[in-house]
Amino acid sequence: MDNAKAVAVEAVAASERKMVDSLKDMVKIPAISPLSGGKGESARADMLESLISGFGIKVRRYDYVDDSKAKRSNLIATYGGAKSTLWVISHIDTVAPGDLALWDHDPFDPVEKDGKIYGRGTTDDGQSAIGSIYALKALIDAKAQPRYNFGVCLAADEEVGSEYGIKRLLKENIFGKDDLILVPDFGTSDGMSIEIAEKGVLWLRITAVGKQVHASTPDLGVNAYRAMIRLLYEIDRVLHGKYNAKNPLFSSDYSTFEMTKHEANVESTNIVPGKEVSYMDCRILPEYKIDDILNTINEAASKVGADTGAKFKVEIFNREDPAPPTKSDSKVAVELANAIKSLRNKEPKFIGIGGGTVAKHFRDENIPAAAWETCEDIAHIPNEYCKIADMVEDAKVFAYMAL
Ligand SMILES: [Zn+2]
């Protein structure tokens, strides 16, 4: 390891206690979307802004006011005089704590135990937010001259769609096409999986309307339940047959089309239901277009509708079109893999996942983005925690990549 890298990595290691204290300070200030009953990120951003300002650099703040009049706050800080920037994109909002009875401690009064910190938002995405802040500090303290500027982006609103976070920031001329985007908001416990592709997501509500009658005289009605069964069977058959590509990046290496929830229909066994509502969760490989899949579903609905006499309505209530994957030889993928290999003596692998990080929004803009961190799979659960070692070791990777 060259000297500058060694100095920065050492500086990160030396700030472990401060990182722990900052993470605790941060977790104490709730930052939940008003859509989930919270007040937004503004108070938490105040705390982080003064923390970073204390390093002697300017923090740019982007406050957006949402429909509930809450301030949704995003922070940007950069260091270095290079041409392009390595951005570490984390988010400072969290989900709600859920049922408090399931927590061993107050989710907003963090507890440190056995090398872990417990509290809401410690792993998702606190450890990365704090890690990126202290990687920045390490570079400043070391007076480093990084190959890439180091950019800390602390975004709002990730848990509820990023409308007041990354989606807005992408319109502010902050990120350049040559920048490297690292999103430490997906991880594995061994830290050896670099996510470079995500499936598209499509959630559907399908309604069948028939005619309700007594079950002894079904000929007088149209059984919406039977029509729905036929439609779902047809959709299952046609979608899996037509969109059957495999992509080895993904652990489920094909597009998934799953029937999930359905709504209760009639109260009695002797009633033919006149209405049936079912739901589907589809995760679509980047090889396919969601419009094509919707066309296929609508064709099936017309066909089964004509056969059964039922009327179908197909509604979309969540849609994320798949973005083009980031190439494994893109700068961010290569620099990240090199940093992991150098610091951990192991070769990471590139993978795809079923959707869910803001890396997608960068890929949509043709800016390569990789999602990576080291963490347990415990986001959103009660007694969420992060391992202090993961926070510190990942921060070393962030700093190393810039040098
Ligand atoms: Zn997250």
Q: Same domain, yes or no, for 271 and 312?
A: yes
Report pLDDT digits (tens) over 275-323.
999 999 999 999 999 999 999 999 999 999 999 999 999 999 889 999 9
* pLDDT the model gives residue 317: 87
Q: Same domain, yes or no, for 310 and 352?
A: no
User: Which among 388, 336, 398 has a CA at the least distance from the CA of 5?
Assistant: 398
Amino acid making up residue 44: R
Q: Are 49 and 59 in contact, with CB atoms under 8 Å apart? A: yes
Q: Same domain, yes or no, for 70 and 124?
A: yes
User: Which among 400, 399, 402, 374 has a CA at the least distance from the CA of 132?
Assistant: 399
Q: Same domain, yes or no, for 264 and 192?
A: no
Q: Catalytic one among 41, 93, 124, 390?
A: 93
**In total, how many domains does the chain have?**
2
Q: Same domain, yes or no, for 301 and 169?
A: no
* Rounded distance from Cα 295 to ligand 1 centre (Å): 32
Which of 269, 294, 320 represents a domain boundary (last residue)? 320
Q: Are 87 and 182 in contact, with CB atoms under 8 Å apart? A: yes
Report pLDDT digits (tens) over 127-153.
999 999 999 999 999 999 999 999 999
Q: Same domain, yes or no, for 27 and 170?
A: yes
Residue 373 annotated to the active site: no
Measured CA to CA, the distance from residue 387 to residue 115 in angstroms comes to: 6
Which of 285, 305, 320 represents a domain boundary (last residue)? 320
- Is omega for the bond preceding 125 within 30 degrees of 0, making it cis? yes
Burial (CB < 10 A; 0-12, 13-18, 19+), residue 61, is middle
Q: Same domain, yes or no, for 73 and 175?
A: yes
* Rounded distance from Cα 233 to ligand 1 centre (Å): 35
Which of 297, 320, 343 represents a domain boundary (last residue)? 320
Residue 93 annotated to the active site: yes
* Rounded distance from Cα 380 to ligand 1 centre (Å): 9
Q: Same domain, yes or no, for 22 and 134?
A: yes
**Domain holding 292: CATH number?**
3.30.70.360
Q: Which domain holds residue 103?
A: 3-198+323-402
Q: Same domain, yes or no, for 276 and 338?
A: no
Q: Same domain, yes or no, for 65 and 193?
A: yes
* pLDDT the model gives residue 355: 81
Q: How many other β-carbons are positioned within 10 Å of the β-carbon of residue 261? A: 11
Q: Same domain, yes or no, for 174 and 70?
A: yes
**Domain holding 390: CATH number?**
3.40.630.10
* pLDDT the model gives residue 21: 98
* Rounded distance from Cα 340 to ligand 1 centre (Å): 21
Q: Catalytic one among 124, 157, 158, 159?
A: 158
* Rounded distance from Cα 276 to ligand 1 centre (Å): 35
Q: Same domain, yes or no, for 188 and 246?
A: no
Residues of the chain falling short of pLDDT 50? none
* Rounded distance from Cα 189 to ligand 1 centre (Å): 15
